[in-house]
Every structure is written in structure tokens, then in C-alpha cells.
């Protein structure tokens, strides 16, 4: 077990270096949510109600971006370029490699949530999170949910050239429907209905309760339950459809 952990750590350090050496990955998977936060924060300066909406909204978007989007892209690339197949044939334990990939995504999530939390306190008047336990629980649940859904969704992407179209066809509608940039309570009823069926809306509700409202974990148990259901579905599909080999020979 110690060898598995050591190899996972070494691979994780390599993944971190490779991530920052890839400008497109660093921008779309890490910097984009922060740019949205700065942009909307500047526009909404002085409107505390809307700032209280945008900060947890961008935090939820950051979780989805660093897990679902990043892993859907990465797993498709690694599979179709034959990297997974070659890793499978090396002495490195498969679990070490997969732990390193997952750890890289989790690190980006933690960094983004930390930056957004500090920005909310320093620049946007939301203060420090009102319930740290609720924040931790919902971030952890969101990471598991969207990471598993990202891996599962990568199975549906036929090749890496089509990955941007497939991923954005899911990512963009979800963030707009789920109330990342506006108060979801003001949305039309049919939009609310769609949002209620999606995990991002419930993640944002939990993060809003933790970062702004201080409602407590018990108030958002139902939201946590919806995220858990999506997480179970994502894990089942991710495991069922996982392949070490690309579809093209």
C-alpha cells in the first residue's frame, strides 16, 4: 500500500507540472471561473444582494469546471491517445495513476474555492463563510458528484477532437440554467423545474447557505441528497463504461 501511495504522489506532482505547462487547460479549467468572478463582481459592485448570489454561484461553477469539465477532457484525451493503454502496461499500479489524476482535479477545486472565499471576504462583502462544516461537506459532495459524472461523460465522447463540443454542450447550459450568474428564485418556472433536476443548482444552494446565509447543514439536507443521487449514478456509469483503450485502432 505504501508503494501505491508513493507512486501516486510522484505521478500527482508530475500532473501538477503538466497542468500549468498547458495554457489552455490552465485557462479553461482554472482561470475562467475566477475571471467571471472578477467581471461580474466589478459590474455588481455596490449591489450586495447580487454579490451574495454571484460568489457562491461562481464557487459552484468552479467545482464543476475543475472536475466535470477537466476530467471529461482529460480522460478522453488519455484514452484516445493511447496513454491509458500504455500506463496499463507499465509496472505502475493503475490505482496510483488514477489517484494522481483525481488528486490533480481536487487540488484545483480546493485552490479555487479558497481564492473565491478570500475574494468574497476582501472584495465583495460576503464575509468569511458562516458555516465551515457545511462548506466542506458540499464541496466534497460536489467534487465526488461532478468528477464521477465527468469520467462517465467521457465514455460518450467519440474522440478528442469532438470533446470541446460535447463538454460545452453540457457545461454551458447547466451553468446558465442553474443560477450561477443570477438569483434562481427569479427565473421562470420552467427554468426552475429544469434546475431542480440538476446537481449544480443544489450545490450552489448548499454553498450559498455555507458562505452567505449561514442556514446550517440541516437546512440543505435535501440538496445534499440530490447531489448524492447524481454521484451514485455518476460512479456507476463511470465504472461500467471505463476503458483503458481508445475506440480507434
Say whether 52 sits in a helix, a strand or coil: helix
Q: Cell numbers 459552484 correspond to what residue?
A: 60
Q: Give the residue numbers spanning the domain of 32.
A: 2-241
Establish if 149 belongs to a structural domain. yes
Establish if 246 belongs to a structural domain. no
Mean pLDDT across 45-53:
90
135-169 confidence digits (pLDDT tens)? 999 999 999 999 999 999 999 999 888 999 999 99
Q: How far apart are CA 249 and CA 237, in angstroms?
A: 24
Establish if 157 belongs to a structural domain. yes
Mean pLDDT across 7-32:
83
| Domains held by the chain: number | 1
Establish if 163 belongs to a structural domain. yes
pTM of the full predicted structure?
0.92
Establish if 248 belongs to a structural domain. no
Containing 233, the helix (H) or strand (E) segment is helix 221-241
Establish if 31 belongs to a structural domain. yes
Amino acid at each position: 500500500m505504501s508503494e501505491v501511495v508513493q507512486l501516486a504522489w510522484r505521478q500527482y506532482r508530475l500532473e501538477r507540472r503538466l497542468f500549468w505547462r498547458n495554457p489552455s487547460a490552465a485557462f479553461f479549467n482554472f482561470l475562467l471561473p475566477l475571471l467571471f468572478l472578477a467581471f461580474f463582481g466589478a459590474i455588481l459592485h455596490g449591489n450586495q444582494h447580487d454579490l451574495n448570489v454571484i460568489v457562491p454561484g461562481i464557487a459552484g461553477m468552479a467545482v464543476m469546471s475543475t472536475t466535470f469539465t477537466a476530467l471529461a477532457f482529460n480522460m478522453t484525451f488519455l484514452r484516445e491517445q493511447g496513454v491509458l493503454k500504455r500506463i496499463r502496461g507499465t509496472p505502475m499500479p493503475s490505482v496510483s495513476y488514477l489517484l494522481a489524476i483525481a488528486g490533480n482535479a481536487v487540488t484545483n477545486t480546493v485552490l479555487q474555492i479558497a481564492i473565491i472565499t478570500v475574494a468574497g471576504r476582501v472584495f465583495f462583502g460576503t464575509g468569511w463563510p458562516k458555516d465551515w462544516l457545511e462548506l466542506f461537506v458540499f464541496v466534497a459532495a460536489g467534487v465526488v458528484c461532478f468528477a464521477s459524472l465527468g469520467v462517465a461523460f467521457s465514455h460518450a465522447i467519440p474522440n478528442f477532437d469532438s470533446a470541446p463540443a460535447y463538454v460545452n454542450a453540457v457545461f454551458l447550459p447547466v451553468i446558465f440554467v442553474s443560477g450561477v450568474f443570477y438569483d434562481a428564485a427569479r427565473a421562470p418556472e420552467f427554468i426552475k423545474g429544469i434546475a431542480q433536476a440538476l446537481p449544480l443548482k443544489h450545490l450552489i444552494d448548499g454553498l450559498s447557505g455555507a458562505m452567505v446565509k449561514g442556514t446550517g447543514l440541516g437546512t440543505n439536507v435535501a440538496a445534499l441528497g440530490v447531489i448524492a443521487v447524481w454521484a451514485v449514478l455518476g460512479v456507476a456509469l463511470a465504472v461500467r463504461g471505463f476503458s483503458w483503450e481508445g475506440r480507434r485502432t
